[in-house]
Structure 1
Amino acid sequence: MSKKCAVIFGANGISGIAMTKVLLASNEWGPIICVSRRPPQLEEAANDSRIHFVSIDMVQSSADDLASKLSAAGAAVAQHAFFYAYVEKQDFNELNDINNMLLEKALHALGLVSPKLKSFMLQTGSKYYGCHLGGAEMVQDYPWKEDAPRLCKRYFHYDQEDFLQTYATNKNWRYLITRPNVILGVSKGNYMNFAVSIALYASLQKNLKRDFIWPGNEIEYTTHFDHSTADNNSRFQLYISVNDKVPSGAYNIKDNDKTTFSELWPKIAEYFGLSIPDPHFKDEKAKHPKEQSTYCQMPLTKYAFENKEQWHEIAKKHNLDPSAYDYATWEFVDGVTGRTWPDYLSMEKARQYGWKEELDTIQSYYEVFDELKKMKIIPE
């Protein structure tokens, strides 16, 4: 029986690594074409002949350059593509432009060299619903469903989804868009991850003999907040890609339907041997923040700056990689923990097409923390 061929764009990121692992776990796949600037991090990938690595800087290279390298790697027989490539930029317009460009190059390149392609999966996210903004630019009807109106003035997720739909329709490919919320996972050299920042914060508090204070406010601590573990996302993305009965369109994906930080935070504290202060919310604004506002009782952006020297002393003492602290997503943690609204995705559409799996989010946190110890990012 001939094997299926997949192309993974952004193969060295958290999501790309997760998809590579899922494909390698099955004998049905090969070649698996991994596209990134750096060679695959996975030991499994380095020792598996099915991995065909395409080293390219997609920002600096043209679609023709990419097509040439994909062709050389065997993309003529590719049937499924998974797109996770992303470049972070602080300037809003630059963020939109560069990420739109990445997707357009990938699509044009595959259009040139992959005549057998059946599906193209694009991972966007719950920012589609305006969860990062709140207020008038956020969908207020819960849980968020895939056909919700676009309320943000502009965001590259919209541009990408529209371009993919048009391009894939013209090529007669199925296009699949998945929208996770906060993604849990780990990638060497990429510390832009909520769980990594929490691990660094917890480790620092432990070494300083301090309590594990929730950075944000009480509303966000107790309200519904979805997590989307990278491994679970990739298994779902593969499921809908190879299932021809799943139509083109957008699909939410999350771990389960009951997550709150008030449940997770004490368990994270227990993992690190930390205590939660009582009362947890001394600040009146943290107890009763204004609706549709953001407020943190202890912003980690400020905390990280104030404790930077202490962390580097700890890193030196335990022979840790000191760069993780400097690249952690402190602002993102503040943006999440300081919200005053739920992040709540509907899984109705995914369930309709047969996806039944659920995942215990705290176990995903534990697995990330364990891996960070092995990677010498946090102390044992």
Structure 2
Amino acid sequence: MPSAIVTGATGIAGSAIVDQLLKDPSYERIYSFSRRDPGYDDPKIKHVALDLQGSVQEMVKSFKGISAEVNEKLLSNFLEALESTGAAKRIKRFILTCGFKQYGVHIGPAEQRLLEGDPLLEQSRRKVSWPPIFYYDQQRILAHAAKRGGWEWVATLPENVLGYAPGNFMNEAMALGLYCVVSKILPGSELPFPGSKANYFTFNCWTSANLHAKFCLWAAKAPGAGNQIFNVMNGDTESFQNLWPRLASRFGCRIPDPMFPHGGTPGTQGFKAYDSSTIRLQNIPLLKSAAAALGLSADPILENPPTLFLQIDPEKWAKRADVSTAWAILRNKYGLDQRAWEKATWSFLTTTLGRDWSCVGSMSKARKLGWTGYADTWEELEETFQVLEREGVLPPVDQLKADF
């Protein structure tokens, strides 16, 4: 029977993978690697305290007796440590979780749909300077190690992961939930969309942490999946024009009309008295490399850097006196976790809500190999909110609506 090693076992993706492994009787041992003990109470799990920023020698000590978001140095050190202990000889497939930054979606619009076989950003530079993507080096390191050791590798590309891990607050759903519950108790209970008007109408994909975990278990054994890169999304395509009214309804808020009183475009004012932000990125659009193929060589829009616009800047919003007071009321009334507020990733919302381009990937490659998994994005978002309520990050929504 196989064993599994999960690094970053306290993260949202890692903890979901451990949970799925526990449900799979074909795995006799699960090694959870992380700096802190995730606290699993199951005889199949052996926790190993491991700091991926440590030296190879330190990792080797941690691996003694084992048979089964990091940069390229951390990954190479980890692989070298596995080889030094001899554990690498028993590897069948190594699953590396990356993400949609593979396509450069964090620095501008890319060709849609996003396909795993698209040229790497570094291959399409053509005298154009774009920020480096460290996933590429990770994948090269992994492929070289696999070739040396005679095993296979898989890289997964999830997008906007929805899930929860105790003590981990890097979570888009958590930041959205906090924004909604605070908006509920502010005067008027309005829920204005913080991002740009263009973003409100773009289409995007999300990835359930649980579905991604199931995909990793499938990819570890699926014939033909070795030495491949796969998009991993829920399987539906969503837009905030659909999700935002549902968020308002769930949390008992009111959709303002007009939603974008000042236009919701770069350089315009914020929503009512809120501070807006216009952020011009430091690179020309990624589409520049494909301009000729798309018939856009003379389009002036491809000569200007992409721009993020927030009609309500999330980071500035969270520091407002009225917002801080509202959070304190909620925290004290419902006994909420203060760390959630302090560590909320408002800056992540700046990118996901401020951009004016879609991020839609294709699942065809995995489907052709037999992957049939699917999740409804709204249902996954709802389930994540329910978990956050049970964990004391968000107030119970029914009680919140009854009290305010």
The TM-score, its normalising length taken from structure 2, stands at: 0.82
Residue 304 in 1 paired to residue 318 in 2?
yes
Counterpart position of 2:81: 109
Query: What is the RMSD computed on CA atoms of the aligned residues?
Result: 1.9
Counterpart position of 1:5: 3
Counterpart position of 1:29: 27
Q: Which runs of 4+ in 1 moved over 3 A?
A: 285-292
CA distance in 2, matches of 1:58, 1:177: 19
Residues 295-315 of structure 1: per-residue CA shift (max 9 Å, x gap): 111111110111234313321
| Cα drift, residue 219 of structure 1 | 1.6
CA distance in 2, matches of 1:193, 1:119: 28
CA distance in 2, matches of 1:288, 1:63: 49
Residues 266 and 307, structure 2, Cα contact 8 Å, conserved in 1: no
Residues 222 and 261, structure 1, Cα contact 8 Å, conserved in 2: yes
Residues 236 and 376, structure 2, Cα contact 8 Å, conserved in 1: no
Residues 281 and 287, structure 1, Cα contact 8 Å, conserved in 2: no
Residues 292-339 of structure 1: per-residue CA shift (max 9 Å, x gap): 421111111110111234313321222111111111110110111111
Q: AA paired with 2:168?
A: N
State the number of aligned residues.
348
Residue 126 in 1 paired to residue 100 in 2?
yes
Q: AA paired with 1:66?
A: M
Counterpart position of 2:207: 228
Counterparts of residues 265-304 of structure 1 (less than 5 Å)? 265-286=244-265, 292-304=306-318
Unpaired runs of 5+ in structure 1? 79-85, 88-98
Q: Determine which of 101, 105, 113 is the counterpart of 1:143.
A: 113
Q: AA paired with 2:133?
A: Y
Q: AA paired with 1:124?
A: C
Counterpart position of 2:376: 360
Q: AA paired with 1:229?
A: S
| Cα drift, residue 349 of structure 1 | 0.8
Counterpart position of 2:154: 176
Counterpart position of 1:65: 58
CA distance in 2, matches of 1:157, 1:360: 28
Residues 186-245 of structure 1: per-residue CA shift (max 9 Å, x gap): 112211111010011111111224211111122211111110111111111110111232
> Could you say which structure has the larger radius of gyration?
2
Unpaired runs of 5+ in structure 2? 122-129, 269-277, 279-300, 397-404
Residues 158-200 of structure 1: per-residue CA shift (max 9 Å, x gap): 1111111111111111110011111111112211111010011
Distance 1:288 1:351, change over 3 A: farther
Distance 1:287 1:356, change over 3 A: farther
Residues 219 and 287, structure 1, Cα contact 8 Å, conserved in 2: no
| Cα drift, residue 142 of structure 1 | 1.1
Question: Looking at both structures, which has the greater relative contact order when contacts are Cα pairs under 8 Å and sequence separation is at least 6?
Answer: 2
Of all paired residues, the percent bearing the same amino acid is: 31
Counterpart position of 1:100: 72
Residues 219 and 288, structure 1, Cα contact 8 Å, conserved in 2: no
Counterpart position of 1:53: 47
Which secondary structure state, in structure 2, belongs to the residue aligned with residue 18 of structure 1?
helix
